[in-house]
Amino acid sequence: MLELGLKIFLSYLLGSINGALLIGRLRGVDIRQSGSGNAGGTNALRTQGKVFATGVMAIDIFKGVIPTLVLPLLILPGVGTDPDIARNWLMYSCGLAAVVGHCYPIWFGFKGGKGAATALGVIAAAAPVLLIPALIAWVVTLKLFGFVGIATIVAGLAMPLAVLMFQSPVVLSLFMFSSLLGLFVLYTHRSNVIKFLAHESSADVTPWIDIGRS
C-alpha cells in the first residue's frame, strides 16, 4: 500500500502545477481575477489570448500524461513494487489524482481549474480509444448548443457509456475509472449547468440550435 499511497500523492502534486496560474505568475497576471475566474484553458483563451492559452493547455495536458503513463512504472527507492496492486488500477488512480490536483492545487490555495485539459491528458495516456467517443460528443454538443462547458460535461459522460456500449465483456476497472472521471468533470462544471439552465450565460460559438440566450 505504500507504493499506492506515495504514487497517488506524487500524482496529486504534479497535477497541482496549474498551467494558467504558473504562466500567469510569470506574466504578473492572476487569471482567477479575470473573466469567469476559472484557472483553465477556456478562460485563459478568452482573457489572455491564444499564445497564453496554448501554453496553459500544453502544461495541463502534459501533467495528466506523466502521472498516468510514467509514475506507475517507476520503481521508487525504498518503496519497490507492490505485487498486490494491479498496474491498471494504479494507473487509473494516479490519473484521477492528477485531475484532482489540477482542480484543488496545494501550490495555489486549492483554487484551480475544472480539470478538462488534465483529464484529456489522462485519457490519452490510460485509454486513448475513449478519446474518439469523447471528441465526437464534445464537437456535436458544442455545435448544437454553443457552450464549451456543456460540451465538456457531455464528453466526460460519453466515456463510460461508450465502455458499456462497445466493450464486451466490460472491463470493470476501465468502466469505474471513466465513470469517476466523467462524474468529477460534471461536478467541477456544475456552475456551467446552473448558468445554462438559468439562461445566464452566452454561447462560446454560434450554435445550430437557437435557444434564445443573450
Query: What are the pLDDT digits (tens) for 169-206?
Result: 888 999 999 999 999 999 999 999 998 988 888 887 88
Do 103 and 143 share a structural domain? no
Do 179 and 117 share a structural domain? no
The set of residues, in sequence order, having a beta carbon less than 8 Å from that of 19 and lying 6+ positions away, is 41, 44, 55, 56, 57, 58, 59, 60, 63, 117
Do 135 and 122 share a structural domain? no
CA-CA distance, 60 to 183, in Å (whole number)?
19
CA-CA distance, 62 to 118, in Å (whole number)?
7
- Of 46, 186, 188, nearest to 112 by C-alpha is 188
Res 210: pLDDT: 65
Res 214: pLDDT: 47
> Which bin fits 17, alpha (ψ -120 to 50), beta or left (φ > 0)?
beta
**Within a 10 A sphere around the Cβ of 9, how many other Cβ atoms?**
13
Do 212 and 147 share a structural domain? yes
Residue pLDDT, tens place only, 100-147: 999 999 988 898 889 999 999 999 999 999 999 999 999 999 999 999
Domain boundary among 126, 151, 177: 126
The residue assigned the cell 494516479 is: 94
CA-CA distance, 186 to 180, in Å (whole number)?
10
Classify residue 206 by burial, with Cβ atoms within 10 Å: 0-12, 13-18, 19+: exposed
Do 176 and 102 share a structural domain? no
Do 210 and 109 share a structural domain? no
Do 149 and 111 share a structural domain? no
Res 78: pLDDT: 81
CA-CA distance, 94 to 71, in Å (whole number)?
8
pTM beyond 0.85, yes or no: yes
Res 13: pLDDT: 96
The phi and psi torsions of 174 (rounded to 5 degrees) equal -70, -40
Do 132 and 79 share a structural domain? no
Q: Are 115 and 97 in contact (CB under 8 A)?
A: no
Report the percentage of the chain scoring pLDDT > 70.
98
Q: Which triple of cell numbers denotes residue 81?
A: 513494487
Do 90 and 35 share a structural domain? yes
Provide the domain count of the chain.
2
Segments forming the whole domain that contains residue 154? 128-214
The residue assigned the cell 501554453 is: 55
Domain boundary among 109, 126, 143: 126
Do 191 and 85 share a structural domain? no
Domain boundary among 107, 126, 145: 126
